[in-house]
Amino acid sequence: MTDREMDRLLRRVLLDAVQQDSAQPSGPDFAPSRRHQRQMRAMLRDPTRWVARRGRPVSLVLLQRAAMFALVTVLSLASVVSAVPSARAAMIRWAEEWAETFVIFRHSGDDDNHTVADYEITELPTGFYEEEREHLDDAMVMVSYTDGNGNYIDFTYARMTQGGATGIDWDESEDTMTEVTVKHMKGGLWKSSEEDGNDTLTWIDSKNDIQFTIVDFNRKSIDVLHMAESVKLVKTPN
């Protein structure tokens, strides 16, 4: 048997071993979130476009979720981090890391274990309503707004605690970033130049140690900065 035939056989054996895995006991049930279902629908509608656009909200989930594990996807990006203008200071609980296609806000500081409060966007584009509010854990909440016609605005906020992070994918060739303030709080606005792109606005409330992010897939009628200004506390934790 030649090396080439041997490698072909090995490929077949490996695939058949994967098939055999299906007989293994299952783990917990896979119960897809609405967000995942939405992503999959978009993928099936236009796979190529979905790949090109995917990343922004998913990365937010991934990086913040990593707080529940020891540490973090961002470590794998260390090799591509081109500049690290650290914003860390004694009173600041985050550090920005800029990679070629990624900005990461790494959180630090003690976790006081209190549940993050409920916030909402009070000025939404006409016809939009809150579809889903998901408390991923005590430190992070994701809210989806929709107009019922497949247009979405995602609002995410997370208490800044050790090991947590929020990531924003961006493409220098397509996106522009502008420093902004939201109610006197420091933030950044990433705007896509693509017609069907989205805008991402993140800002940090240092007083309450919370990072807010809005991803606007709609970009109609109300500017994302205006929506951010309208964010209000609606319920304090028990």
Partner 1 sequence: MLTILMTMLDSEEERRYFRWLYQISREEMERTAMRILENQALAEDAVQNACCQIIRNFDMVLRVPEERRKFWCVTVAKNEAIALRRKSREHLSLDEIGDIGAVPEDTSGYEALVEVFARLPETYRATLEQYFLLELTPEEIAQRLNLTPAAVRMRISRGRKLLQELIRKEGLYS
Q: Please tell me the chain's helix, strand, coil percentages from 3-state DSSP, rounded to the nearest 5.
A: 25, 35, 40
Indicate the residue among 41 and 232 with the shorter CB distance to partner 1: 41
Least distance (Å) between residue 30 CB and partner 1: 4
- Rounded to whole angstroms, the Cα distance separating 190 from 214 reads 10
DSSP structure class, residue 71: S
- Are 84 and 94 in contact, with CB atoms under 8 Å apart? no
Helix locations, the chain, DSSP H = 3-21, 34-45, 47-53, 56-65, 224-229
Least distance (Å) between residue 159 CB and partner 1: 17
Least distance (Å) between residue 32 CB and partner 1: 7
Indicate the residue among 2 and 238 with the shorter CB distance to partner 1: 2
Q: Is 14 exposed, middle or buried (0-12, 13-18, 19+ CB in 10 A)?
A: exposed
Number of helices (H), then strands (E), in the chain = 5, 13
Indicate the residue among 13 and 234 with the shorter CB distance to partner 1: 13
Indicate the residue among 1 and 91 with the shorter CB distance to partner 1: 1
- Are 125 and 217 in contact, with CB atoms under 8 Å apart? no
Task: Specify the residue for token string 């420091």.
Answer: 186
Least distance (Å) between residue 67 CB and partner 1: 10
Positions touching partner 1 (CB under 8 A) are 1, 5-7, 9-22, 24, 26-33, 35-36, 39-40, 43-44, 46-48, 50-52, 54, 58, 61-62, 65-66, 68-73, 75-76, 136, 171
Indicate the residue among 51 and 233 with the shorter CB distance to partner 1: 51
Least distance (Å) between residue 222 CB and partner 1: 28
Indicate the residue among 171 and 223 with the shorter CB distance to partner 1: 171
Report helix, strand or coil for 145: strand
Least distance (Å) between residue 207 CB and partner 1: 28
- Rounded to whole angstroms, the Cα distance separating 69 from 58 reads 17
Instruction: Determine the Cα angle at 197 with ends 192 and 202, to 5°.
Output: 60
Indicate the residue among 16 and 110 with the shorter CB distance to partner 1: 16
Least distance (Å) between residue 184 CB and partner 1: 33
